[in-house]
A and B are shown apart, each in its own frame.
Chain A
């Protein structure tokens, strides 16, 4: 079976599993909204300040939400002992990883789709004119989070205290992505919105580097 087809099957399985309960998605969205609301309690920002700190806040919320949401991706397989079944499937380990990455990408994207409008209303940021460009930045940033996060979910699934371990592994690694995504978003939220090509290129580079690393190292992740 081809990698793409196998990945699509894994993706279908992940989506079916999630949409039976929508537990993960609901929890992630609520968590991200809580982060955004708590921020305004903590800093009580004026409109100018919220434009200044908004992009950072938004990405912190995505990063935290992602680092919590990505754990079950492999953690669930581990606790249900279904990882062996996946491993026995006659498909490449990259296909399994890719399917899970795509599923996680969709989950995080849905959470962002809910959070961005809420954020725009609460912090008075106009996004009507920049939707396309914002979607590009969000997509590249989200891809970086889920590529590294899915790999680290496979790593932390084998460890004790795995829920706590995943953010510890993931968040420091995502620091360069955070800088790039925040800067790119800030240039869109400014008085004269523009797409900062340097940071978009940096985000794309980040995604390519770690997707390649994941592709090269995925066999080691799946073995027992």
Chain B
């Protein structure tokens, strides 16, 4: 318990410092002005998403291989946190794109892939919600998770091929080219801080799933005991 609190406090301090650094230490961009600062959150949240979704995929494969429910819990944890990060990324992207590119959204390979990734993992979570039996829920959602994971490179490839055949008049020169050294350091710090927060969330979400599972088992036991001990009288029937 102490370690949990200490870890949480440490990450809280880290994220506050990273936020301060992103807003006040990093210099203003010569072309984009202050709006570029959303980058510190935006790029970091993608890294967090990839962490979470990789964990989800590991959980899916490991469940099929070992049949230990803890891996299924890891799968749903990763997918849920990944969808949350993906949502945050998809919201901050247009907020940055509108002032810099002049448009909220473009059907570029990276954006399209992310959007479909988001849809696929939302379908994964929907699927989980609609299957009652824990064992088959774990197995079937794991199979779907693996199919979805295989689909992501195909989506990216198809969009890359597509866009090279139909060039779009959208300038895709992000601030990645020639990043100021201070900006680079702050970005690194933000990535570490946001991934740390994500890991914290993942840990708590996993714990929640574990507790839920235990609660379910205890409830079942209580029910079966009360059925056993209930005196059957003529009135009840």
Contacts and interface: CB of A to CB of B under 8 A. Distances in A.
A180 B154 CA distance: 10
Given A172-B123, A173-B147, A202 B130 contact: no
A162 B127 CA distance: 9
Interface residues of A, number: 33
Contacts of A223: 139
B154 A209 contact: yes
Contacts of A198: 161
Given A161-B130, A165-B127, A169-B127, A179 B120 contact: no
B43 interface: no
B104 interface: no
Contacts of B140: 155, 158-159, 220-221
Nearest to A174: B151
Contacts of B127: 155-156, 159, 165, 169
B147 A220 contact: no
A164 to B, nearest CB: 9
State the majority secondary structure of interface residues on A: helix
A152 interface: yes
A151 B148 CA distance: 12
Interface of A: 148, 151-152, 155-156, 158-162, 165, 168-169, 172-173, 175-176, 179-180, 183, 198-199, 202, 205-206, 209-210, 213, 217, 220-221, 223-224
Given A159-B140, A168-B126, A224-B136, 17 more contacts: A151-B147, A152-B147, A155-B144, A156-B127, A158-B136, A160-B132, A173-B147, A173-B151, A176-B151, A176-B158, A202-B161, A209-B154, A210-B147, A210-B150, A213-B146, A213-B150, A220-B142
